[in-house]
Each structure stands twice: as C-alpha cells, then as structure tokens.
Structure 1
C-alpha cells in the first residue's frame, strides 16, 4: 500500500507555518507534500528553514496548474493554507475536476491567526471545504452561527487551536539576562513614523535597563515577501534612530518558538506570537502606543488584561492574560486537534465523499465568483485560463518570470550588500 499523504497548499511563509503545523496535528503519520503557489509571497528557502518543518516533497505551481495535478488528487488530505478567495476558487475548480472520482482528498481550511476583521467575508469563501478549523471556542461559536443562518452544515466547523501553540512553560532563569522580545509585524503599524517611534521606545527601554537584553524579532529580510507587504523594514529604520542604540539592543531572526525559549517578556502590537507567548505563560504586553484600533488588530486583546504601553513596560509591567479570556481563545488546551482527526475518520468511514461544493456558485453569487475565479487564473466555469498572448505559453511565461526575477534579485542584492548587511553586522542580527 502506498504511504498516506497530506498535501499543504500555501502561498506565503506564514501560511506554510500554519498549514504544515496543522498537517502534523491532524495526520502525524502521513508523508507531508508542500505545494507552494507561485506568486508575490512564495516563500524563500530561508523562510522555510526558519519555520523548521521540512516537507517530504515540495514544488511550486500556479492555482490553475493544481486542477489537473494527479499527485494532489491522490492525496488523503489537502490543507488549503491560502487566502480565502483562493480557497473559494480552488474549492470550486477542484470540485469540478474531481467530480466522479472514486477517491478525492478530504479538504481542510482555516485561519492563520486571530479573526479580528472581515469574519463573514473570509468564512463564506471557506464554506464548502470538508473541515473549517476554528482556533478557539469563541471562533467556533461565531462560525457555526453564520453557517446555520445561511444554510451551511455547521458540523463542518471544528474547534481546535492555533497549531503552533506549544513549547515548555515559562520559568525565569538566573543564568541569562532578563530578555524583552519585541515581535514586529510587516504592516502593523503601516505608517513609517509609527514604526520608527516603536523602535525608539524599544531602544529607550534597553537604555533604561542596561542589565536587560532587548531583542527586535524580525520577520523577513528587506525585499523578501511575506503575507503582508513591509514597506519600512526595521532593519533599515534602526539606522534612523535619533540616538545610537545601546549594545543590549539586538536584531534577531529565527524560529519564534526558539526565541521565546529565552524570552521573559513578549511585546507586540497584535502578532499571533502573543498567543504563543501566553500559551507558555510568558508575560505578554499588547502595545497601546499606536492606539487600540481595529486597523491594528490589537482590539482583539481588549479583554485579555494584557494591554500596556511602553511607559507601563518601563515601569515594570509584566502582564498575564485573564484565565477566562485565555481559555476562550484555545490557550492551554491539551490535544486540541483530536476533534479534527475524529471528523476526518468519520468522513472516510461514511463512504465516498460527496462532490466539493462551495457556498458561492454561479447561481448564488455569479458576479462575485467570476471575479474571484479570474483573479486566480480560471474562467467563469472554473477552467484554467490560457496563457496570455505574447508570452508564448509556459516556456515564454517562464522567460518573463526569470527576467523579472533576475531584475528583482539584482536590486535585492544591491540593497543587501550596500545597506542591510552592514546594518546587520553593526546590530548583531542572528
């Protein structure tokens, strides 16, 4: 019998981390196949290494190429770790391509982090996958309520937790300096001045507490894409500090879990790293300096008891989350993916899976669906669009991609060589 396989479709490093972590939880004995969607945020080898989950195979394809992919069709489970619109397009088009097959994969979708905006928008595009994972009891209740009211089976919503919540519980260490980690985000806040001011406050904290280590946890290299575009990387902003930063301020890369291993206080605006930190009972501060706003996502933490400013942190604040709030967010749960594994087993035991059918169809939302399909390389019937005229098919498209990629690589190399590398050497990034 061939080995059982679970495929993860991912369009960025962040979604690969979520999808691969989910795969390890719901199918620990399966071979892991990585299918990265070709696009702006296709993860680099460095980004994949930072996540730390090595697939058994990996390849890069377009959404349209996946429709006729036999390896994908023969997988036992497919995790759709992509944007909601792409989930909808693939559920529609794969449903047509797989119709009539004796076997099709169980499909799984969900959210990479907390759902703090456009809940109904994103949820409706995921409707139609066999499992829609909810990262908490709070989310599961909201999702099921929406599905019930529009006629979608609420049993497809399965309560779990963020899959990368783990690691050893926090214990203060007297063998190293007290360490404050500022987990930055590519687009929160978006404004250059706000990002620079947060960096200045972190540097000011390091100056105030010379016995502490202050880490700026970076997400990506300048020019390297992730889920969100970063227009003003902290690696470059550090050169614009009004005063030279003290030696106990350090820029760091690496796996978030490993950084948390040496963290005594996690500081962020709204990164999901906050939930990882809370799960391990590390003091966690959700910054209010740029406001508590839906645009920043930190409004999600209003009831957590962890809102704090840099002034509070300078004064010694070490926030811990409210236990009831933390429990409602899935923090601290044991084996949160047992229900998902049970659901998958029940679907298989019931016989051949029914055809994939998203909620949005030509009859319910033809105008909206057509736009989503075209944005993902399909025509209004869900068939792959032909290559644009002038590209000469796949070979011509490949030449264009290589030419554009070459220009981008040269630009990135110049930026790295002339600006980033000297900055990283000065600031000790690792």
Structure 2
C-alpha cells in the first residue's frame, strides 16, 4: 500500500525536523513532504539544512508556512498520513487543525530521541493521535505502564530510531589510541556492531570533508536541559578543558544545536559558548554541523543523556555517559543503567570510552529491524480509515472554552499569533499560570515522587526543567 501514499510531517523545532525527516526518509515508496510551521522554535534555514543532511528527504519537499495557512494547505493536498512532530502543545494545536479537515488523515506522533522516563505530558498531549511511535521495547513498556496509571490509552508501534543506522566513517587504517598519551583504551577499527544491534546497514554517506582525517576527536553532545544546575554545567566545561589540555594532539568538539540568535527545542540558560568563553585551548572547538558529521571523525562521544549516544553506538564509536552528577530521572540518564556506558570525569580526561553491553542494546534501541513494525501499522490504519472503520480520535475540548484555546494557541505561536484573542488570553493567562505553578510547587507531594522513583520508567508529576515553550 505504501506506493503513492501522501505522507506529511508537520514540525517546527530542529530536533523534530531531524527526527521526522529521517523517519519518513526510511520508508520506501511514499510521497513525503515536510511542513515547517512558524513558531518561536522553528528551525532556521541553516538548522533545517543540517537536520535534512542524510535524512532522505529532498529539500524541494519542504515548505515553510504560517499557522493560518496550515488548514488550507492540508485541505488542498489531502495527505493520507500526517506525522505531528513537535513538543506536546504544538502537537495538540495541530491536532485541532486536523480535527477541522473535511478529509481526515491518519495521525501519527512520536518523540525525537530516547524517551525514558516516559513523561505524563508527553503522552497526554498526544492522546488524540491514531498511533504513537516509540523506539525501544523498554519505551513500549514504559508508555503502556504510564497510560494505565493516567487512564490514557494510545496505540503504540515500534520503530528503529532513525539515527541509529551505521554509516561509513573515514577512519585511519591503523589502530587509533583514543586517549592519546594519557589513554588506556585502544580502539580496534572494525565494522559497527550490526549483528548485536540487529539493524541493517544504511547506504554509505559521503564525508569528503574528512577524507584524510583519522577518527581521533572527542565529541561532547551538549544538552539544553541537563544538567540544570549552573555549577554542574561549569564543571562539565572544566572537564572538557582538562580533556583538551591532556592531549593537545586531539580535538575536543563541543557539538551545539543552535547558533547565536537561533532557537532550539529546549531552552538553554547556560550555553557552553558562554561557560567556555576565554578559557578554551586551541584544540577545544565548537561545531554547529550535523551530529553525523561530528561523529565521522570521533574516537569517542561524551554526553549526559543525549540520543547522540545511540547514534555513536550504532557506528561502533565508544561512549561515556557522564555520571559524575548522579544517575536519576531528572538527569534523563537512567536509560543507561546496565549499558556499560556510564563513566566519570577521570574517564573522560583519560579517554577511557566503552562499548554498550549487547543485552542492554536488545532492549534499548537496537532491536532487530524486523520488529520495527510501525509503518505496517500505519498502512493498516490507512486501510481502516478508507473503509470507514477507524473512528477519529479528537483533541479534547479545552476546559476553559474559547479563551483557554486562544491562550494555548498564543502560547505555542508566540509573536506569530497576531489575533487579538491570543494577545488578551496571554495577558490574562501568563500571570495566572505562574501563580498556579507556584501553588503546585508549594503543595505537599501527597505520597508521589515518581521523578525520584528508580523502580519505574515513567513519571506522573510535571518535569522539573521549567522549560516553557514561550520564548
């Protein structure tokens, strides 16, 4: 059935652009299109170009539109499937657009990387979609457990994380000492762990910019959300400086998601460009290119909890998931328990990177490709929709009526919402939500603290990041 199916991804922020384009790019025989809706988070042209690199979506199949143009565009194009790719409030807002269409497509949603712990808001905002894409057996269980706890049942289907695909890397033919003179681990440059990963090789990508460069870089995948604490982020900056000084012959590459003036999916309050200002050795550099480009010359990857770790594992690149500040849901790194990838400051400086345990990989993002049945599920849903046997899952009505809906729209669109109702709703709603948030934070936990509960892979309370979509 895939032949000729019209599939449209609707996205805004950079990570969702990369994920949705890569996910659709992995399906043969469809007619994909990427629709970028203007919000304060929408990827810049440069971010879009980086996100589409190697994704399998032709740049000509990308349109940028205002929110008010989305409904008529969808009415004219009549897609069979819409992939809603954005943060929860964006998905819900676009869901209301879908609800008003005369020709209703199958709706799919998902998260652009590792989703452990499964968070209440992530599921609740997507409760109206026909299918939720997850990327590991562990995530399947986590969202099922969460759904039972909060009474939200959304069908899920398993996909291979589209970034977890081996790529040809420009490696030196000889053995490369990861830690230079200080390192202990010596990496044998062999093929990526295809058999253990249970994935098929993707077509080799060109890396002409690195045709003669051996893979010696240490790449740090920076994250906006974790760690939150200023002193901990400053400590990470110090670790990177120490790693660079320990071996001036290797580069330490800080991989960033946005250039000055650009937005990204999550709000970063302590950017590493500022934390490292004036203290960078010459071999500590910033990179704004794609993660695939950064990994093409990487001997090892460092992160707290970035999905880049999965990208690296797929390519046989050793990883350190930094546990110097603990392992907890609030650091989003409990997914690495049992992986063999957790390590501390001294391991980073010495270059003692490590590979993931095969048992962990099978349950976490490296299942056999034959188990990734999400597209088969989508085709079944399309057939049911055409036959009239798939009822619409509509966005629940806002409890506050039209004013609440206006506030929600204005919160997502920011300055791109030029309606009077939106401005009035924000003027009234922003102070009210701040008071409500303060009141909630002041209440006793009533016996719940699922963010601190290490025995589960889901959370019930709001996340601790104070990461508003309003910028």
Structure 1 length normalisation: TM-score? 0.76
Equivalent residue for 1:110? Answer: 110
Equivalent residue for 2:319? Answer: 284
8 Å CA contact 1:7–1:72 kept in 2: the answer is: no
Query: Residue deviations 1:49-71, cap 9 Å, x none?
Result: 11124443433344454234345
- The reply to whether residue 347 of structure 1 matches residue 381 of structure 2 is yes
Equivalent residue for 1:366? Answer: 399
How far, CA to CA, are the matches of 1:324 and 1:370 in structure 2?
A: 51
Residue 373 of structure 1 and its aligned partner are, at CA, apart by: 6.4
Residue 328 of structure 1 and its aligned partner are, at CA, apart by: 0.8
- The reply to whether residue 60 of structure 1 matches residue 57 of structure 2 is no
8 Å CA contact 1:182–1:267 kept in 2: the answer is: yes
- The reply to whether residue 50 of structure 1 matches residue 65 of structure 2 is no
8 Å CA contact 2:409–2:422 kept in 1: the answer is: no
- The reply to whether residue 201 of structure 1 matches residue 233 of structure 2 is no
Residue 182 of structure 1 and its aligned partner are, at CA, apart by: 1.0
8 Å CA contact 1:213–1:248 kept in 2: the answer is: yes
RMSD of equivalent CA atoms: 3.1
| Number of residue pairs matched by the alignment | 371
Call closer, same or farther: CA 1:372–1:319 in 2, change over 3 Å. farther
Q: Aligned ranges for residues 131-280 of structure 1 at < 5 Å?
A: 131-147=131-147, 156-168=155-167, 173=172, 174=174, 176=214, 178-241=216-279, 245-280=280-315
SS at match of 2:310: helix
SS at match of 2:399: helix
Query: Residue deviations 1:243-299, cap 9 Å, x none?
Result: xx4333222221111221211110011111011112222111011233333332123
Residue 184 of structure 1 and its aligned partner are, at CA, apart by: 1.1
2:92 corresponds to which of 38, 63, 88:
88
8 Å CA contact 2:134–2:157 kept in 1: the answer is: yes
Gaps of 5+ in 2: 175-212, 412-416, 424-471
Equivalent residue for 1:387? Answer: 419
8 Å CA contact 1:91–1:357 kept in 2: the answer is: no
- The reply to whether residue 302 of structure 1 matches residue 340 of structure 2 is no
How far, CA to CA, are the matches of 1:177 and 1:166 in structure 2?
A: 18
How far, CA to CA, are the matches of 1:342 and 1:390 in structure 2?
A: 40
Q: Aligned ranges for residues 303-342 of structure 1 at < 5 Å?
A: 303-331=338-366, 333-334=368-369, 337=372, 339-342=373-376
SS at match of 1:227: coil
8 Å CA contact 2:92–2:125 kept in 1: the answer is: yes
How far, CA to CA, are the matches of 1:149 and 1:369 in structure 2?
A: 29
SS at match of 2:330: coil
- The reply to whether residue 357 of structure 1 matches residue 416 of structure 2 is no
Call closer, same or farther: CA 1:221–1:24 in 2, change over 3 Å. same
SS at match of 1:264: strand
Gaps of 5+ in 1: 379-384, 392-430
How far, CA to CA, are the matches of 1:149 and 1:192 in structure 2?
A: 34
How far, CA to CA, are the matches of 1:389 and 1:374 in structure 2?
A: 8
8 Å CA contact 1:91–1:356 kept in 2: the answer is: no
Residue 388 of structure 1 and its aligned partner are, at CA, apart by: 1.1
Residue 376 of structure 1 and its aligned partner are, at CA, apart by: 1.9
Call closer, same or farther: CA 1:225–1:15 in 2, change over 3 Å. same
Call closer, same or farther: CA 1:320–1:372 in 2, change over 3 Å. farther
How far, CA to CA, are the matches of 1:390 and 1:105 in structure 2?
A: 28
Moved more, 157-166 or 171-180: 171-180
SS at match of 2:84: strand
SS at match of 1:20: helix
How far, CA to CA, are the matches of 2:290 and 2:371 in structure 1?
A: 22
SS at match of 1:321: coil
SS at match of 1:59: strand
How far, CA to CA, are the matches of 1:238 and 1:21 in structure 2?
A: 32
How far, CA to CA, are the matches of 2:391 and 2:77 in structure 1?
A: 13
